[in-house]
Amino acid sequence: MVLSVRLTGGVLGYTAIQGRAVGAPGRSTDLERRRLKLAVVAYPRMASGSLGLIESFRASHDPQAGLIGAHITLVFPVDLDAEELTPELQAVATTTAPFSVSLSAVRAAVGIDGRSYALLESDRGGELVSRLHDRLYSGALARHVRSDIRYEPHVTVGSCERLPDCVRMASEFNAVWRPTLAHIDALALLDLDGSGLREHGLFTLRGEDALVRDPHRIVSASPGHVPSLPAIERAAARLFRDAAPAELLEHVTPESTLLASQEAGTLWVALGDDDEPVGFARVEVAGAGVHLAELDVHPTHGRRGIGTALVRTVEDWARSRGFARITLTTYRDIPWNAPFYASLGFVVVPEGDWDASMRRRFEEEAGLDSERPKRVVMTRHLVST
């Protein structure tokens, strides 16, 4: 089964948003405020007109506007003393260079608490923020990382009770907003003391590491990689628990199947900095084409282009061997499923156009009868180079 998930986060805590997670601004309980003491944010610097537009909009639509300026959360509230966290921030700041991101447009999303949020997201440079987030979650913060929640950087510009209101809010903002380059050059340590937010310290980025190294490489899997892959599949499935039945998510591909694919040369892995797998793709030959049977990326390495890189590797392999197409099945209306593959050039195949191979794959991968109306077959036709 092909599953993919995108998640994001907010300053005062995690709230699932239809498979994502964002903060619930201004809605932390007293208990949460006592337990969650410190957070780290970055205040993106940009042209005064752009920042003024954001802050003016937040003043009308974001309950946090009176507590904190426009920000990107890097470390979510943790129960640590400032004296313990300060050396960690100093170490990161002295080795990390300032960088820029493009803040492109606002997207509306719904939280499980029934509230909706308007999130200003990046189309370029977001992966640098993600790497900075990962760098911060080491040392004293390592035990606080949420491996079940995928980080996605954003600036919250508003919240509302109903999704249609936030959709209109996003449209209103995007009508006057133009993609803007913002600079990240400092880390702010915030103290959530129960009565509000207090800035405990500011740490200027003044290192030489530009955070632009390739965080992964795609290689053909070796037998030694296979034992690590079921854990990646399980982690990805946990993120999918709000979108698919538990019976389907409990399934893990047997190692014997993975080994057979490895021996056939149809299994690829994405390796992290320590050369351990962080994602994988597996295909099966299907007549004149190949079928993408699995694509999984561990949530802690998500939102960095690894899934896209794995798909492109599969495409290059299939094209070099003369295959005419790649097929897959996935969920139709979940934004990080069919829309993700559509962005890579896949198109939905109407059921009336399915051949026997497509129909067989759909029946196998749909699982429960209740899921069949929700899923589609997609294909990408390959052009030889």
Tens-digit pLDDT profile for residues 275-307? 899 999 999 998 889 999 999 999 888 777 788
Residues 319 and 352 in one domain: yes
User: Considering the domain boundaries, does residue 37 fall inside one?
Assistant: yes
Q: Residue 15: which residues within 8 A CB-CB, separation 6 or more?
A: 21, 22, 23, 24, 111, 112, 113
Query: Quick check: 145 pLDDT over 70?
Result: yes
Q: Write the CATH number for 98.
A: 3.90.1140.10
Mean pLDDT of 347-376: 86
Residues 73 and 33 in one domain: yes
- Classify 165 as helix, strand or coil: helix
Instruction: Please identify which residue in the block is written with the tokens 């959709």.
Output: 167
- Residue 136 lies inside a defined structural domain of this protein: yes
pLDDT, one tens digit per residue, over 300-359 is 887 777 888 899 899 989 988 999 999 999 988 776 788 888 888 899 999 999 999 999
Read off the tokens for 117: 């949020």
242 vs 44, higher pLDDT: 44
Clarify whether residues 82 and 60 are in a common domain: yes
How much is the average pLDDT of 61-81? 91
Question: Angle of helix 48-61 relative to helix 163-176, nearest 10 degrees?
Answer: 160
354 and 245 share a domain?
yes
139 and 170 fall within a common domain: yes
C-beta neighbour count of 29 within 10 angstroms: 9
Give the domain-ending residue among 173, 204, 235: 204
Does residue 322 lie in a domain region? Answer: yes
- What is d(CA 12, CA 380) in angstroms, rounded to the nearest whole number? 42
Last-in-domain residue among 137, 170, 204 = 204
Q: Tell how far CA 325 is from the center of its chain.
A: 27
Residues 229 and 178 in one domain: no
Q: In what order do the strands lie in the sheet with 155-160?
A: 155-160, 116-124, 99-110, 180-184
**101 in Cβ contact with 184 (< 8 Å):** yes
**Alpha carbon distance 340, 336 (integer Å):** 5
For the full predicted model, state whether its pTM sits above 0.95: no
Tell me if 4 is assigned to some domain: no
Same domain, 176 and 251: no
Are 189 and 321 in the same domain? no
Write out the two tokens for 328: 């897959």
The answer to whether residue 173 is domain-embedded is yes
346 with 300, same domain? yes
Predicted confidence at residue 111, as pLDDT, reads: 62
Domain final residue pick, 204, 225, 259: 204
27 pLDDT higher than 50 = no
Q: Which of 382, 372, 313, 307 is nearest to 340 (CA)?
A: 307
250 and 150 together in one domain = no
**Residue 267 placed within a domain:** yes
| pLDDT tens column, 221-260 | 999 999 999 999 998 887 766 666 566 567 889 999 999 9
> In this predicted structure, which of 115-119, 138-142, 265-269, 360-364 has the lowest mean pLDDT?
138-142
Same-domain pairing of 150 and 291: no
State the CATH number of the domain containing residue 253.
3.40.630.30
CA distance 320 to 38: 52
Same domain, 176 and 233: no
- Is the pLDDT at 131 greater than 70? The verdict is yes
pLDDT of residue 33: 35
Instruction: Give the model's pLDDT for residue 168.
Output: 95
Mean residue pLDDT across the chain: 82
Domain that holds residue 278: 217-381
- 49 within a domain of the structure (yes/no): yes
Residues 159-164, mean pLDDT to the nearest whole number: 92
**To 5 degrees, how large is the angle CA 24–CA 191–CA 160?**
15
Q: How many domains is the chain partitioned into structurally?
A: 2
CB 174 within 8 A of CB 180: no
How much is the pLDDT for 369?
61
For residue 255, which phi and psi values (nearest 5 degrees)? -60, -30
Could you give the CA distance from residue 379 to residue 348 in angstroms, rounded to a whole number?
7
